[in-house]
Amino acid sequence: MKRVVLVLLLVAFTLIEVSPGYCETPAFRKFRRGFCNLFTFHLELFNQIELTQKKEGSVMGWTVGVLKGVGMVGMRALVGAYEVATFPIPFPPKYEPILKEPEFFWSEPFAENPAK
């Protein structure tokens, strides 16, 4: 029974996600941000290791990068849960993102070829 409910919820979220009518509202953008953060939070660990390695070298990447990654994993998961739970409420004002850089995990700082 639990699996059926979970599958139905995932199908409903997917249908809402691809529906153009809902995508334009700030409240639904907040919901999408939170939903995406809940499913991509674990990728922050590897991404922070890679970013730190590129900037400061391998040793720093595998020490400081891991610590940064663990912190960002927790932060992205908590912010995602908060945004999903409170998406109808306009807080922060005008539904602004809590994590601004990047708003979504795959936004520009993480993209392979960022748009210029």
Q: Angle CA(99)–CA(109)–CA(82) in degrees, nearest 5?
A: 20
Long-range residue pairs from 99-102, CB within 8 A, at least 24 positions apart, any chain: 99/37, 99/75
Q: Model confidence over 32-52: pLDDT tens digits? A: 888 888 888 999 999 999 999
Q: And the tokens for 51? A: 């970013």
Q: Model confidence over 83-92: pLDDT tens digits? A: 989 988 998 8
| Average pLDDT over the chain, rounded to an integer | 83
Contact yes or no for 78/30 (Cβ under 8 A)? no
pLDDT at 16: 63
C-alpha span between 83 and 80 (Å, rounded): 5
C-alpha span between 64 and 68 (Å, rounded): 6
pLDDT (average), residues 61-70: 95
